[in-house]
Structure 1
């Protein structure tokens, strides 16, 4: 396990940051302004954020953005990174790719950021060449396999969780290992055809099934449901007229559409074991309301990919989150797993900043942060996510996931961390 030394303000803060794998020293009061990247005397590092807080994926995007902001607020309140404040400026792009371009240009030109924490698949992939030209490292909340490329197309993109494709491959491994009954089993893939996020892992999942599970897993015809189709029962009925109800289904949406699909399938009598990738999973899958118990029944047994911890888990990395919440008169019940996901992503950027400051004596640029990220090896996140390792030829920090299952409305972990690299 990788350990780092910290300057202490309080023993709790030091312990919390150690668990997060940060070398954030708690001395110096920082600065209120800085030139691009924050010069040595300015004590400011500028980071940008691109959020979906009002668009099609805001159900998960809004708490993720809140978690990112909360981390930097907490970090700066406790001295920043080696005395440097992190100026985090972000904007809501409402899941509009053209708007994301405008936000990015504003962050680059008006705010002089040296790195960006982004959001969606379509916009992140659209920005790939531009961030290479601008030499601005980018942590997206998209885990598209396309962003793993370290060559000319994605040389400044980094994945801080398992790619969607690796998540889907791992789900196939779990199905093959745990299925009780005869083989082959029928597995349906449910997604929005033509939507960059939703369709991202589909071909890779199919290829993996063909390569490793011939005669074990049968990928049946796709179930294509648009993200905006809030009553997909007609599509499900039409599909079922030509196909048998699948044994398993792998869904790649966010909370809202995932629950719509499962609700309508259950109302049609489907006994399918529904599963989903990471944005399907979390507390928000079950809506709060008068019909909550009905949703609990429809969604019971759902299995989801868990890339980051839940707030109620007893983990070393949760100590800093608890301290932040207490400072705001909040409780863990006031946040969710996507908040933790955003917080953790921001903490990895803080570690890269820490390394870059040490390497440059504080005059940090985008290329410096890229070099810093590529030097991270087995970064311990205190259990908030899988340990991360990068290099110049590996921008995918991990392929490790856990699986969680909804049981009577509560999430229960049913696996430890595992990945396709453990299986092959």
Structure 2
């Protein structure tokens, strides 16, 4: 009898194993990490980006995940502190994430050698040009035109569109200066590029003014600028300190135009700067939250951004959401595309995501008002130019689309990458 039961048990086990192998295959979970700033020096723009990233991964999972595999997105606030970012990175790596959605320039650049060694794709909200040369930063990606491209594009747009309207046009050189926090890797990342571009275009370049990311008062810097009398000033900080500086410039009668890097140019700018925001020009790598095309229709995928913001964060009114949400979606969507391509090529390891994912993209359309993105094994600059918008009469409107590669092809190809 015992022998009979042993035989039956063996057949039962074999049958169960057979069911496991012949039955439906369970989808795997793909782990993705996030390192965000929701409490630190750039939290004025970081919180909305963090909200948007969570919402974007909700959308990705509800629309098939990575070829049927759900994404588990785990993120941490690091308070804009580089040591904390390194700690969080190490933890996420131990978790077994296949990629990390990162944030700031200082931490992203500091982690880049480690990311290279670990072969772990790192999609950042830092658009530093230093991260676009694969010879140095093999696993760094982002969807936007880099900060140096933004700066060159904004100055070019002002030079083309605004300077010819100035009463001194043709009588003297235009005068240019910069305001930014000199100790911040993010803020100073494009300064070499924009000063070089100003010289190339024939500007007289004045001394830089050091303005903290935490600044609520910039009167001393504005008074220093008044001695130079700039026609246009570049501001490289985030929205809070940009607004404070512009308010002081307005009250003290500086009289200069402002061109602003993308993290200082958003829906909060006119709310915080008031009338000082009128005429401000900024780099906008994607459309503003809920912004529509001239024909009145949403940009591709913008309806999803608005829908998922309302669905998963209904407590935040739509008018309080920023284009930072849209930027988060754009970075999430390029990762999604790269991961899908890599998975179809046979693996979701970091090297395959890089080589068979990102580096196979040619003019990939994200929508959201952004430029199509391309990456190659030798160039991780996603786009060749930038949309420059102007805030006037209560609305953000296109001023110019500047294609640096088309305008200066030799410099684009041979000189400008990586700085």
| Contact 2:262 2:285 (8 Å CA) reproduced | yes
Q: Give the deviation of 1:278 after TM superposition.
A: 0.7
**How much does 1:139 deviate?**
1.1
Residues 1:213 and 2:201 are matched in the alignment: yes
Preserved contact between residue 296 and residue 409 of structure 1 (Cα < 8 Å): no
Q: CA deviation at 1:340?
A: 0.6
Cross-structure match for 1:319:
303
CA contact (8 A) 1:150 1:156 kept: yes
Query: Which residue pairs with 1:24 in the alignment?
Result: none
> In 2 relative to 1, CA 118–228 (structure 1 residues): closer, same or farther, beyond 3 Å?
same
Find the partner of 1:304 among 279, 282, 286.
282
The alpha-carbon deviation at position 77 of structure 1 amounts to 2.2
Question: Which of residues 129, 142, 158 is equivalent to 1:159?
Answer: 142
Q: Which structure 2 residue ranges, 5 or more long, are not aligned?
A: 1-24, 293-297, 409-419
Aligned to 2:183: 194
Q: Distance in 2 between matches of 1:359 and 1:406?
A: 45
**2:109 matches 1:131:** no
The structure 1 residue matched to 2:381, chosen from 392, 396, 400, is 396
What is the CA-CA distance between 1:97 and the residue it aligns to?
Answer: 0.5
SS at match of 1:401: strand
1:339 to 325, 331, 353: 325
- How many residues are paired up? 369
Question: Following the alignment from structure 1 to structure 2, what is the Cα–Cα distance between the partners of residues 206 and 374?
Answer: 31
Q: Which residue is 2:339 aligned to?
A: 353
User: Equivalents in 1 of 2:82, 2:122: separation in Å?
Assistant: 16
Larger radius of gyration: 2
Q: Distance in 2 between matches of 1:223 and 1:422?
A: 32
1:146 CA drift (Å) = 0.8
Q: TM-score, normalised by structure 1?
A: 0.83
Give the superposition deviation at 1:228: 2.7
1:286 counterpart SS class: helix
Q: Which runs of 5+ in 1 are unaligned?
A: 1-39, 289-294
**Cα distance in 2, alignment partners of residues 343 and 169 from structure 1:** 25
Q: What whole-Å deviation, never above 9, does each CA across 1:244-275 have from its counterpart, x for those lacking one? A: 32110011011000001100111111111111
Instruction: Give how far 1:42 is off.
Output: 4.5
CA–CA distance in structure 1, aligned partners of residues 158 and 270 of structure 2: 24
Cα deviation 1:56-113 (Å, max 9, x = unaligned): 001111111111110101221233122111111110001000100011011101x211
Q: Distance in 2 between the 1:268 and 1:142 partners?
A: 33
Q: Is the 8 A contact 1:145 1:200 kept in 2?
A: yes
Shift of the alpha carbon at 1:298? Answer: 1.7
| RMSD (Å) for aligned C-alpha atoms | 1.8
2:127 maps to 1:174:
no
